Amino acid sequence: MFAALLLAATSVSAGAIGCGGHHIGARNPGMGNPHYRREYNPDSLDVTAQCTAYNYPPVAAIVKDFPTIWTPATILPTDTAASALFAEFNSTVAPKVANVQVKVGTQGDFSGYQYDNADDPDCWWTKTRCTVPKDNTIAADISRLPEPNTWGFGFDDGPNCSHNALYNFMAENNQKATMFFIGSNVLNWPLQAIRAKTDGHELCIHTWSHSAMTTLTNEAAFAELYYTRQAIKAVTGVTPKCWRPPYGDVDNRIRAIAGFLNLTNVLWSDDTFDWQEGTNNVTAETVVGNYQKVFDKAKAGEYDTYGAIVLNHEINNKTMQHMIDQYPTIKENFKYIVPIASGMNWTTPYVEANETYPNFEQYISGQREGSVVPSGSGNSPGSTLTGSAAAGASSTAAGKPSAGTRNSAAGILVVAGVAAAMLL
Ligand SMILES: [Zn+2]
């Protein structure tokens, strides 16, 4: 009993650093093996029905090509494409971050780890909130939007099995969001991931197993990002170029790995700590108060020169309901509520550059849907990658992989085609 209480206290203290603590343990039930066959009803609002595991043949056919769901990822011994890409990282980018130590901590809590906060050689956000590395060959993080009086709208930790009420609400309000998806959740709940894409939300990466990235070896961190990217591509057909580290736990070594994989790191300027409700006596009122703090800052003019990126979660019904409840008040206090891609004017948020997204002006003037230019118009994945990388980050680590080409070589595109066909 005492040990349990101690764990809870530790977790909440870790949670103070955002997207943290043990909140993944609070996710909705139903996660698990997809052997139970049922009909998926995309309109169901029944939580139990939504969270009953189902068999989805396109995923069942490829799950062997991925790490075990909800265990820390490593490169599969049989995955020659991933191994070759990681070898390329090792020979090009790894040497320049070789002096960055692997950190020691659990669930984002590094209170026992000694680090030179004053000098902050690793630009380690967890300890110092550093977002701009001194080494300008490593891309800076994004934590706010350039557009004033704007709420950067997104959710971490999905897809959640019982997200239909939230997604219906967003559809009714013609509101798009940025979804930072966990790879294990994508393979557990592929139809929910497909709904996010079909509804026009932007997809980003939130790792495979929600581990604290700075505690992982280069290979493990690479695998966490790589296989989540592969899972999203396989299920939804697009390859994200953005990611968010669990707990915000990122340093220059992790930035270099993500940059090599063509991923821009999106952190946040404000945190609702919505996931904490129910942990350590945190109440719904506390979470509402956290939202109110952001509104108070808006009233005081804080966002007259930039836009907030606010951390929210798709992790359980309570966090999703909070957003539904608070949405009208967000609208009262912010002129615009936009997904990150539109807030950053990222018009090609995926490696597949034939797929476009509305820029800020388009979004706020009512154009909420992206478009897909038929392939075969001359844009090869390799040639579009350079342009899309430039759009996605102001500066990035050297050594961009030809991600699209490698995906094709791995045969993932074929699976994506099956998923897309089932949507029609
Ligand atoms: Zn998270």
Looking at residues 32-50, what average pLDDT do you find?
A: 64
Distance CA 226, CA 84 (A): 12
Residue 230 alpha carbon to ligand 1 centre in Å: 19
Q: Domains in the chain: how many in total? A: 1
- State pLDDT tens for residues 167-183: 999 999 999 999 999 99
Q: Give which of 75, 184, 142 is closest to 343, Cα–Cα.
A: 142
pLDDT in tens, 387-421: 333 333 333 333 333 333 323 222 232 233 333 22
Q: What is the mean pLDDT of the chain?
A: 83
Secondary structure of residue 222 in the 3-state scheme: helix
Query: Is 23 among the residues known to form the active site?
Result: no
- Give tens-digit pLDDT for 353-363: 999 999 999 99
pLDDT in tens, 307-338: 999 999 999 999 999 999 999 999 999 999 99
> How many angstroms separate the alpha carbon of residue 314 from the centre of ligand 1?
9
The owner of tokens 């219906």 is: 168
Q: Which residue has the tokens 């392939």?
A: 375
pTM across the whole model:
0.82
- The band of 106, judged by pLDDT with boundaries at 50, 70 and 90, is confident
Residue 310's beta-bridge partner residues?
270
Distances in Å between the Cα of 215 and the Cα atoms of 109, 113, 131, 232 are: 11, 11, 18, 24
- Mutual orientation of helices 218-236 and 80-92 as an angle, nearest 10°? 130
Rounded distance, CA 320 to CA 185, Å?
16
- Residue 373 has a pLDDT of 84
| CA 200 to ligand 1 centroid distance, Å | 21
Phi, psi torsion values for 356, nearest 5 degrees: -110, 165
Does 73 have pLDDT greater than 80?
A: yes
The verdict on whether 156 is a catalytic residue reads yes
Quote the pLDDT of residue 42: 63
Q: Is 144 helix (H, G, I), strand (E, B) or coil?
A: strand
Pull the structure tokens for residue 223: 């695998």
Tokens of 6: 């101690």
In whole angstroms, give the CA distance from residue 248 to residue 124: 9
Q: Tell me, what's the pLDDT at 108? A: 75
Query: CB atoms < 10 A from the CB of 377, how many?
Result: 7
In whole angstroms, what is the distance from residue 52 CA to residue 42 CA? 13
Structure tokens at 219: 């290979």
Domain ranges, residue 353: 2-423
Q: Averaged over 157-167, what is the pLDDT?
A: 94
Task: For residue 150, report the distance from its CA to the centre of ligand 1, in Å.
Answer: 23
Q: CA 145 → CA 89, 210, 299, 317, 361, distances in Å?
A: 30, 25, 18, 28, 14
Catalytic annotation, pick one of 156, 270, 271, 274: 156
* DSSP state, residue 145: E
Dihedral of the alpha carbons of 44, 49, 50, 54, in degrees to the nearest 10: -120
Lowest model confidence (mean pLDDT) among 24-38, 74-88, 103-117, 367-381: 24-38
3-state secondary structure of 311: strand
How many other C-beta atoms lie within 10 A of the C-beta of residue 325?
A: 13
pLDDT value, residue 349: 97
Report the amino acid identity of residue 132: V
Q: Copy the structure tokens of residue 278.
A: 């129910």
- 290 has pLDDT over 90: yes
Gap between the Cα atoms of 374 and 81, Å rounded: 27
Angle between helices 190-198 and 218-236 (to 10 degrees): 70
250: helix, strand or coil:
coil
CA 239 to CA 316: how far, in whole Å? 26
Distance 201 CA to ligand 1 centre (A): 18
Position 49 scores a pLDDT of 86
pLDDT band at residue 21 using 50, 70 and 90 as cut-offs: very low
- pLDDT at residue 378 tops 50: no
Choose between 35 and 137: higher pLDDT: 137
CATH number at residue 343: 3.20.20.370
pLDDT at 4: 33
Q: Assign residue 417 a region: left if phi > 0, alpha if psi is -120 to 50, beta otherwise?
A: alpha
Q: Which of 22, 163, 206, 313 is catalytic?
A: 313
Amino acid 75: pLDDT: 98
**Residue 116 predicted with pLDDT over 90:** yes
What is the structure's pLDDT at 175? Answer: 97
